[in-house]
Amino acid sequence: MASAFLPAGQFAITNSPFLIHNGWVPTANETLRRIPSVNQILHGLGAGPLLNQFPRHLVVEEVRHALDRLRDSIRRSDDPDRDLKSGLAALEPELGRSLRKRLRPSLRPVVNATGIILHTNLGRAPMAEETVQTMNHLSQGYSNLEYDLDQGTRGHRDRHLEEQFRRLLPCEAATAVNNNAAALYLVLSTLARGRKVLVSRGELVEIGGSFRVPSILEQSGASLKEVGTTNRTRVQDYRDALDGETALILRVHPSNFRVVGFSRRPALSELVALSREAGIPLLKDAGSGYLFRTSHPSLRSEPTVEEILKAGVDLVCFSGDKLLGGPQAGIVLGKRSLMEAVRKNPLARVCRLDKATFAGLQQTLTLYEQGVYLERLPIYRMLGTSTSSLESRARQIRRGLDPGAYRCRILDGFSLTGGGSAPEETIPTTLLALRPTAFSCNELGQRLRRGSRPVVARIEDDRVILDLRTVLPEEDEVLVQSLSQAASED
């Protein structure tokens, strides 16, 4: 469209910003009347890039929002005419930014430079490449999720996991739901609704998101019977609490805290003996899903699912996206008679898994069966990475940064397993400590988070701390680019 001045109250658009006829407007109300209509804006945009890139109805909505903001600005302004001119001049680029932001998914990949391996806020365990490929492949078409290919009849989705778990662990049956809270809730609702569940006072924990064990018990319809004290509980406390209304003994994973000092709780073998003596099932919430003992020192106090089942518990539940290393899920293993009751609960259908998650869990378990999970699962590669390797990467990243933009040091530090696993256990690591020269550390943290590939880091002692243990090696170049962009941002 050719550039031209229009009568007062109208405007023309070329490839450059909006132009407005320049006349003195004495009041805000008179200036408001000079704001072009939505149709005039769209006519001015013509066949330009916005209407080529975005659906017309979205452009119309964003134009309306932009004009509403412009009206508010004019009403508050001491120079309405100036605000009208500047607002119209900035309108087209503002529309472009708002439309791109609107269509950009809010759920995005981020670089985790916090040093917390199982960071719940950042999605917990990253999955193995084979797991992601399997989930993607199965999601693109149909599958035999609930179809028996041998018999040509309806099947059950649990069977895809049950045989694998039975081969890996000493259990009779298995099921999976959408997270460990759902698994615990489902078992309690099935086996203890309207009856008592014995739990040590020292295990009535709260984890992230204000999730509390007493609350899940209450919602399930079970009645909580506290035994022992916060710091000391004996097996006799459980025995004394048993009565005809007792349905279940629950042993809870301590999650993200540890009681030290003058403390005691029964060995799992003691509770197994008591449950058999009383004829009452024992449920163990194993939380982290640590299947087998490894040599990593930070996991030395973490109970394994294998050890728990060998001890003789009746049922054990745990997460799929923590130390198991798979997608989000809640897994229940144990005796077939109890598991059949759990499967028949209508709530099992409410919180069941989809086909992609089943595929991801199955592939993750395949890595365990193949004996390659320590090499293939990212969480175990992170746990096992040496500090010398991390230091080498830190030096390479430092060489890629502008020395005029950052003061940079390489320091020793500690990482955490996170996700309620191995509480208080630390892992020696190498840190990259940055202090920008032209702006504050808080500003750098914000710039990194709002970048094209967000980076989440820590700020300590007026320095931005990057722990490379949780940065995937293939993300090192992304980190350098993000830091360079942050330094050059206007």
User: Alpha-carbon distance 273 to 249, whole Å?
Assistant: 12
At residue 261, the pLDDT reads 66
At residue 190, the pLDDT reads 97
Average pLDDT, the chain: 90
At residue 9, the pLDDT reads 40
User: Alpha-carbon distance 475 to 178, whole Å?
Assistant: 29
State yes or no: pLDDT of 236 exceeds 50.
Answer: yes
At residue 11, the pLDDT reads 47
At residue 490, the pLDDT reads 66
State yes or no: pLDDT of 123 exceeds 50.
Answer: yes
CA atoms within 13 A on the CB side of 119: 19
- Helix-then-strand count for the chain, H and E: 21, 20
The structural domains of the chain, ordered by start, are 11-103 (no CATH), 111-117+381-488 (3.90.1150.180), 127-372 (3.40.640.10)
Tell me the per-residue pLDDT of 193-225, one tens digit each, with 9 for 90 and over.
Answer: 999 999 999 888 876 656 788 888 989 999 999
145, 162, 179: which is closest to 354 by C-alpha?
145
Residue 49: pLDDT band by 50, 70, 90 thresholds? confident
Tell me the per-residue pLDDT of 50-61, one tens digit each, with 9 for 90 and over.
Answer: 888 999 999 999
State yes or no: pLDDT of 329 exceeds 70.
Answer: yes
At residue 274, the pLDDT reads 97
User: Alpha-carbon distance 264 to 252, whole Å?
Assistant: 14
User: Alpha-carbon distance 32 to 113, whole Å?
Assistant: 49
Beta strands 330-334 and 211-212, pairing class: unpaired
State yes or no: pLDDT of 15 exceeds 60.
Answer: no
State yes or no: pLDDT of 415 exceeds 90.
Answer: yes
204 versus 134: which is more confidently predicted? 134
What mean pLDDT do residues 262-289 have?
A: 93
361 versus 452: which is more confidently predicted? 361
